[in-house]
Structure 1
Amino acid sequence: MSEQDTFNNDLCAFLARATTPFHVVSALAEELAAAGFIALAEDEAWSLQPGGRYYVVRNGSSIVAFGIGEQAGPEEGVRLVGAHTDSPCLMAKPSPERQRQGYLQVGVQVYGGALLNPWFDRDLSLAGRVSFRDAQGQLRSALIDFRDPIAVIPSLAIHLDREANNSRTINAQTDIPPILCQLTEGEKVEFRALLRERLLQEHPDCGAQEVLDFELCFYDTQPAAVVGLRGDFIASARLDNLLSCYVGLCALKQWDGVSSVLLVCNDHEEVGSLSASGAQGPFLASVLERMAGDRAAYARLTDRSMLISADNAHGIHPNYADRHDENHGPLLNRGPVIKINASQRYASNSETAGLFRMLAAEVEVPVQSFVVRSDMACGSTIGPITAGAVGVRTLDIGVSTFAMHSIRELAGAADAANLVRVLARFYNFPGALGAR
């Protein structure tokens, strides 16, 4: 098995574990702890040492991992990589029970800019965080994941919607509540009772007495896989943006200990990032300030630092090539993509892009560029948000992807491993990152 095959197998295993932002952070924390990173708590004093490896979690759904340079401490600048832990999905409503025509359904909200059509006729499961009262009357929370396919959203047959292939639209209130089971006559099912039963199965000692609330996401149970006649592609749910989270983790684990480095994986990017744990919140700035030691040192730190925001890019689709600028259509398996937008929807500039091209050339990885068509709106990332909130120089890059925001996305089998090589070089690049 080649090095790329081994990497992709590990990536697929990570994607299988990381079914919600809470499970993403749990998996990342487990990997970091195994690599010698020490868990910190925000409500405690920190004693950071040169050469030390640390991580801190906020809300269970965002994480910052960092290393203090032995030869170049935080004041000399920090090499930052950013990604996000959330993906578009369907989330259960607080009072979700719907009993229609003898079926139990779950009412859902659409989280983020989900492509809804692919959610039909998939084997769905449910996972997330549940808050409950234990036997001692204390409020506690725990993660659950049903893992098995427990729900489905059946399509309406073509015979009952003859225009389905021409003009089908989806009503998010009425068309997409998943079906969980068929009920017997007179049967009533309480959703919270189902969750309590699941809590006790996964956490037998939790003592759950009453489920108080929850944040639960439906997801596709079809596992990630390497696909294509020649194994050219990776197909999976949540490639946007868990691929970047995993790539950042793998690069961070190759840190040589010389310069200070950091990986931030924020929640809530798909809904604007404005939250205590999102990129528009204070989490990253708080960690950087504590790394610096005081406010003046923090100002010097941010001026000497650089962030690479890693978030998937739109690969040029062979069936829809006209949706791209003719000179900026990234191909899968042709290297990471620098994302550029004159209106600052991406935060890249000539200096940060030039450094990335130089680093990529040093490790023999090709680089592509993406610019949205001038007559189309452009998406955005945590890059401009972080640059505006923290004041750090920023580059937006990503791996070329098809079907972004679908329940199953497609990326090149070579691209993730190649991006690890570039980001590892960024973390371990000797000397300053260039003049401000």
Structure 2
Amino acid sequence: MSIIPPKEATNFIEFVNNSPSPFHAVEEARVRLSAAGYKEICERESWNNVLELNGKYYFTRNRSTIVAFAIGRKYKTGNGISIVGAHTDSPCLKLKPISKKEKVGYLQIGVETYGGGIWHTWFDRDLSVAGRAIVDDDGKLISKLVRIRQPILRVPTLAIHLERDVNSAGFKFNNENHLCPLIATVTKDLTKPGKSEKDDDTGNPFIVKHQPILIEVLAKELDVRVDQIRDLELCLYDTQPSTIGGVYNEFIFSARLDNLMMSYTALTALINSTSDPDSLSNEHNIRMIALFDNEEVGSTSAHGANSSLLETTIRRLVFSNIRGNIQETTSHTIFEETVHKSFFISADMGHAVHPNYFEKHEENHRPEMHKGVVIKVNSSQRYATTAATTIVLREVAEKRNIPLQEFVVRADTPCGSTIGPMISANLGIRTIDVGNPQLSMHSIREVAGTDDVGHAINLFKTFFEEFHEIDQRVIVD
């Protein structure tokens, strides 16, 4: 039996396999945007007379957050902005600033936990590192992506013979003591070809802070000398590639589905909505995606959703001189008028009903794979969804018969949150929280449905293309 999975799902697999860190995810987005005719601009420079009607642009911050937008040909100052937001980061282990460790004949690296991962799933996996290095390039300090594809790290579990009650008492461990990957044995390190007693006395601070063999591997991958590496920001990742699975090729088995799937679908929807030369000819709004870093740790960073990034971006668009734009008003409230004509979709993965734990879901709110994007609701405002924002998205979905589902947590269960509430609170913008259903959220290997990639792309593309018209007849504040 051979069933061909949807092309949207296979394209997503390529995206997520190329994105082992937020820096790589942003670079992958940059490549796709550039290929689609989007021009890179810089926050450090003026946008006056740079932007123009019918233009397509993007910029990055910290190389781990990216914002892209397309300006409608009929855009005028004060019109709205149609925005889909997601995040590029996922729970992982990160290299400590001083990571060099050695215990009972093993060389290890020190890591810290990032986000709320299911950390027991990181044991007995083939791990490696990816992220960025700050490199001295003839006196200039530049950021370079780095990824080691070889599985060089592993966190081994303790044999059942040494902990007989592990199955009955549960797998318990200490994050600091037991979640420490090994990279080599002292024996092999001492006898490696070319090993010298002076290897640890080069004057490079990274030889002191990190395992010399790790720095050597990174330097080789970067094609630089060891002494050119000045700093590192590395995530650990599972080297097993994402793949399509299930007897009907209906599942995506992958790391980082939360939240690279929603980042990918938002990115693809924006590109698809602007691919035709005439696609912006009747557009009155600006179409935008904002893919933030640091959501998994609260978003409070210079490049997180709880920063001023989105506000300052909108202000610059409102007050920049956009070529071809007839500025019909000099109102001092033009920014606020723009915000209240705008709409923000917070896109973050949701919880599919679990066949082995279905009682964990509220009985009337059990999202299933392949049945559409989930609208997430919480009366305590852990999600920003309201009736007024739900009706807008329903109108969008009905335009092209796109399926939607609904989710609330059980009354006896705490609810997670997203970038939606903080964006809506900080800006006062109409916001709805949505996401594709998945299993095993925050595990090192997660599961989602292949059809839902296409559902999300279609929903967001329709939103970009139809929101301005729908907003004219939905008079709900």
With the shorter chain as reference, the TM-score category is over 0.9
8 Å CA contact 1:132–1:208 kept in 2: the answer is: no
- Cα deviation, 1:352-405, whole Å, max 9, x if unaligned, reads 111212222222222111101111110000011111122210000000010000
Residues 101, 192 of structure 1: alpha-carbon distance in 2 compared, 3 angstrom cutoff: closer
8 Å CA contact 1:68–1:74 kept in 2: the answer is: no
TM-score by length of 2: 0.87
Tell me the distance in 1 between the aligned counterparts of 2:162 and 2:261. 39
| 2:54 alignment partner AA | G
Question: 1:286 deviation in Å?
Answer: 1.1
Report the counterpart of residue 67 of structure 1 in structure 2: 70
Question: 1:19 deviation in Å?
Answer: 0.6
- Cα deviation, 1:181-216, whole Å, max 9, x if unaligned, reads 122278387436445534543443x56634332111
8 Å CA contact 1:83–1:265 kept in 2: the answer is: yes
TM-score by length of 1: 0.95
Question: 1:158 deviation in Å?
Answer: 1.1
- 3-state DSSP of counterpart to 2:431: strand
Report the counterpart of residue 423 of structure 1 in structure 2: 460
Report the counterpart of residue 327 of structure 2 in structure 1: none
- 3-state DSSP of counterpart to 1:141: strand
Aligned mate of 1:154, from 130, 153, 156: 156
| 2:253 alignment partner AA | A
Computing the radius of gyration from Cα coordinates, the structure with the larger value is 2
Report the counterpart of residue 112 of structure 2 in structure 1: 109
Tell me the distance in 1 between the aligned counterparts of 2:79 and 2:397. 23
Please list, as runs of the form range in 1=range in 2, the aligned pairs for 1:355-434 lying within 5 A after superposition. 355-429=392-466, 430-433=468-471, 434=474
Question: 1:163 deviation in Å?
Answer: 1.8
8 Å CA contact 2:100–2:211 kept in 1: the answer is: no
Please list, as runs of the form range in 1=range in 2, the aligned pairs for 1:33-432 lying within 5 A after superposition. 33-46=34-47, 47-73=50-76, 75-134=78-137, 136-166=138-168, 167-184=170-187, 187=190, 190=207, 191=210, 193-194=212-213, 196-204=215-223, 209-255=227-273, 256-257=279-280, 258=283, 259-293=285-319, 296-429=333-466, 430-432=468-470
Tell me the distance in 2 between the aligned counterparts of 1:103 and 1:28. 39
Structure 2: 5+ residue stretches without partners:
191-198, 201-206, 274-278, 321-331
8 Å CA contact 1:195–1:211 kept in 2: the answer is: no
Structure 2 residue 25 is the aligned partner of structure 1 residue 24: yes
Deviates more, 1:211-220 or 1:339-348: 211-220
**Identity, % of aligned pairs?**
40
Tell me the distance in 1 between the aligned counterparts of 2:247 and 2:342. 43
| 2:83 alignment partner AA | L
RMSD: 1.9
| 2:372 alignment partner AA | G
| 2:353 alignment partner AA | I
Residues 247, 186 of structure 1: alpha-carbon distance in 2 compared, 3 angstrom cutoff: closer
8 Å CA contact 1:196–1:210 kept in 2: the answer is: no
8 Å CA contact 2:6–2:451 kept in 1: the answer is: no
Structure 1: 5+ residue stretches without partners:
none
Tell me the distance in 1 between the aligned counterparts of 2:211 and 2:151. 19
Deviates more, 1:68-77 or 1:386-395: 68-77
Tell me the distance in 2 between the aligned counterparts of 1:336 and 1:321. 19
| 1:201 alignment partner AA | K
- 3-state DSSP of counterpart to 2:378: coil
Tell me the distance in 2 between the aligned counterparts of 1:336 and 1:6. 18
Question: 1:14 deviation in Å?
Answer: 0.5
**How many residues of Structure 1 are paired with residues of Structure 2 in the alignment?**
434
- Cα deviation, 1:91-137, whole Å, max 9, x if unaligned, reads 01111111112111111100000001111111111011112334x33
Deviates more, 1:159-168 or 1:174-183: 159-168
- 3-state DSSP of counterpart to 2:266: helix
Residues 337, 74 of structure 1: alpha-carbon distance in 2 compared, 3 angstrom cutoff: farther
Question: 1:253 deviation in Å?
Answer: 0.8
